[in-house]
Structure 1
């Protein structure tokens, strides 16, 4: 009997052990599945951010996708900004109505202050509150009353903290170590994407500034060129047609304002017997330097897409050719100026006598610039300084 009881106890113990192993195996499978879903969610957020270069659009996409993929109550993203010698984590994107209201209010938390975001950005480490009611250092947001657990993750790019993310859940103890590791991986990817977007925006702004500077230079250069050029308007017509003169100017002004090719019917009453016109701006790197107008004497002339394409192609090549000619003439003028300056300077250096130097300078300048009278006065009229 005792032997039977012993076998019975062994069987019960074995069954209990089997049940425990099955429970452990099931629990392990669940944890693996949860970890897999978390990694898949983090990867999805990472993929979505790598192709976005607009900073504001990127931030909105990150918080909404993170909340959706990780089934969270709220996700907010902060970036660091300095103000009067202090550094704040400023909310730049938040999910839901709470996020919209906080954005409108300019919600921010001081770095190093009494909040999880403040401590997270100050210490460069994640902060977790498994039960928000027991967390001493935490900002209790009245717009998020259902939060039961919260995780603050630093955003680090190139070894520097640039902001932080807050992820909040309606469940207590929602974030274990594995979950935190997955979310931090996502945050690291987001930080790199944000940094890249900011670098791209800075580079684009620099290029736009360079382009604007170049356009201003071109505009100024062509304004000076047209003031000194012998001819700035050219016209060709069939034999017997009257010259257009300045009659085309109103249409050119319209093209310059619109910055695009314009097809006009009954272009101007002053153009009789001409009835329609196709006018295209001559643009060089975005700066309008002139216009080309083609006029027809047929009332029913309709300008086709091919007509427009041909005119625009000609105008594009015309702009480049005109700019090359202007640059060549400018280079030639500079060369002449440098040569004349060198000649005058060389003649002045032939003597060490001040009077002779001044006389030589006056004579050479007068010949070069065709000036009838030149006066040179040495000294300022001020009394000498005492020794």
Structure 2
């Protein structure tokens, strides 16, 4: 009766722990400690199935043996030669009243004093979560009543574990959504590819705890290249190319569908170049933008007990879509930069040509304008600072040497620039030997030079506009006079007279038809006189 009461009390305590503890690890630790303490058992442990459902992994256990086994990441195969393997596969308890006589029991060397053992499934609905394993130093320690009590505890642990797992999963999803939101904001405006891929790698590891992150991009119609790798193994393969359809990343590039491989070493589709790379689990996801695969985001695990889950795949698909959008934006930004650079070069060339033509028309005395106090000489030569500023396209400063005969002690000159082209320079000189040209002086002179450039260009454009308007008026006036002449000879005479008058030349000629010294085309007059094609046709 006392033993039964203790069992009920222990079951009640496990129940209270189950409803009060939301962290799965804390829950399992409290449960196994209560079982061993209240019942006086030798050892208690909880196993849970991994994401593949192939292995029962030790999550919590008591004593020094439990500590060592957890450090070793102890696991047992579902359906394998062990009590835990049998229970998780068959969904029913198993009792070994004498462990030496049980054919399926795993004899653990860290628990040499075990004489009897019971293993109970952790089940919620139709889902097996794992198993509760309890061992005793006494033979036949588990009767029907104790097994029933332990199964009741196992059921409470299973429900609490399921709830805790759901709670943890909800928290993980919340963190993942927050990470994806941060990634969307962070990646959208990133134009530099190297920085973009570094950020993608950081977010991918936050979402999946992946050991390696790799990015493949197409380099031609038939190949993709490993352009980024934040992977202890993948770094050795930087720049590696794969044919489209080759290996996991090549296949995903062609199919446009994500794919997971739990054991790359035994996967039949592995790329030959990665056959000995040491990857274990691999997840490859296409980066899709507007229906087109822009590359492949590939994640790796090298540890044999690590796998990528369907949740990992879904999260990385979202991240890959964000990456594809960022890549498209980066490509568009690069195209815009290239276009702007081309326009800038064209603008500079046109500006240079326009100013070269204007300077060719200017007399020498208009190319350089100087101002000085009435008591100071105006030199004929170009000051050295002005010449240097136009050559080097930057602000220069000079100071007089003893050999100079000029009264100017120092000078400062800055280029006059228009659309990236140097069209002149603005220079200032001073007769004071102690004059120090400050940053404010430089800023002021540069600002004035900029305004000079704009004003000169405006004047040039106004002059061009006026010349064009004059030319259009002149052409219209000549056209009106020619139309008033009426006949061919009058039109030719008006054209010649007006051209000669406008250009102030001594002679103008109008030739209608072929020149006299050139044979006329077949079926036409010989070209002498003022015969036209229309007259010949008549």
Equivalent pairs counted in the alignment come to: 377
Shift of the alpha carbon at 1:11? 4.3
Q: Give the distance between the partners of 1:339 and 1:265, measured in 2 at CA.
A: 54
Mapped contact 2:214–2:231 kept (Cα < 8 A):
no
Structure 2 residue corresponding to 1:246, chosen from 374, 377, 381:
381
Shift of the alpha carbon at 1:184? 1.0
Shift of the alpha carbon at 1:38? 4.5
- Unmatched runs of 5 consecutive residues or more in structure 1: none
Aligned to 2:190: 52
Matched, 1:167 2:299: yes
Matched, 1:196 2:333: no
CA pair 261-120 structure 1, distance change in 2 beyond 3 A: same
Q: Give the distance between the partners of 1:371 and 1:157, measured in 2 at CA.
A: 68
Mapped contact 1:42–1:183 kept (Cα < 8 A):
no
CA pair 282-88 structure 1, distance change in 2 beyond 3 A: same
Deviations 1:65-87, CA, capped at 9 Å, x for gaps: 534764323221122233xxx33
Aligned to 1:325: 459
Matched, 1:235 2:373: no
Q: Give SS of 1:17's match.
A: helix
Query: Which has the higher relative contact order, 1 or 2, with Cα contacts under 8 A spaced 6 or more apart?
Result: 1
Of 142-151 and 127-136, deviating more is: 142-151
Matched, 1:17 2:155: yes
Mapped contact 1:64–1:95 kept (Cα < 8 A):
no
Shift of the alpha carbon at 1:300? 2.3
CA pair 382-135 structure 1, distance change in 2 beyond 3 A: farther
Aligned to 1:80: 218
Mapped contact 2:265–2:275 kept (Cα < 8 A):
no
CA pair 204-7 structure 1, distance change in 2 beyond 3 A: same
Mapped contact 2:418–2:454 kept (Cα < 8 A):
yes
Deviations 1:69-107, CA, capped at 9 Å, x for gaps: 64323221122233xxx332222212257555534xx42
Shift of the alpha carbon at 1:242? 2.1
Mapped contact 2:418–2:453 kept (Cα < 8 A):
yes
Q: Give the distance between the partners of 2:175 and 2:277, measured in 1 at CA.
A: 27
Mapped contact 2:211–2:300 kept (Cα < 8 A):
yes
Aligned to 1:127: 259
Q: Give SS of 2:481's match.
A: helix
Q: Give the distance between the partners of 1:162 and 1:322, measured in 2 at CA.
A: 49
Structure 2 residue corresponding to 1:257, chosen from 387, 391, 398:
391
Aligned to 2:241: 108
Q: Give the distance between the partners of 1:140 and 1:40, measured in 2 at CA.
A: 39
Matched, 1:339 2:477: no
Q: Give the distance between the partners of 1:11 and 1:318, measured in 2 at CA.
A: 97
Q: Give the distance between the partners of 1:47 and 1:140, measured in 2 at CA.
A: 38
Output the TM-score relative to the length of structure 2: 0.64
Shift of the alpha carbon at 1:13? 4.2
Matched, 1:282 2:421: no
Q: Give SS of 1:349's match.
A: helix
Of 156-165 and 183-192, deviating more is: 156-165
Q: Give the distance between the partners of 2:513 and 2:149, measured in 1 at CA.
A: 121
Shift of the alpha carbon at 1:384? 2.1
Of 376-385 and 48-57, deviating more is: 376-385
Aligned to 1:117: 249
Q: Give the distance between the partners of 1:345 and 1:108, measured in 2 at CA.
A: 69
Deviations 1:237-281, CA, capped at 9 Å, x for gaps: 111322222231x42232123322222112796661112111111
Mapped contact 1:80–1:88 kept (Cα < 8 A):
yes
CA pair 73-213 structure 1, distance change in 2 beyond 3 A: same
Shift of the alpha carbon at 1:202? 1.4
CA pair 284-90 structure 1, distance change in 2 beyond 3 A: same
Shift of the alpha carbon at 1:40? 4.9
Name whichever structure is richer in helix by fraction.
1
Of 4-13 and 199-208, deviating more is: 4-13
Matched, 1:183 2:316: yes
Output the TM-score relative to the length of structure 1: 0.86
Aligned to 1:220: 353
Mapped contact 1:155–1:187 kept (Cα < 8 A):
yes
Matched, 1:92 2:227: yes
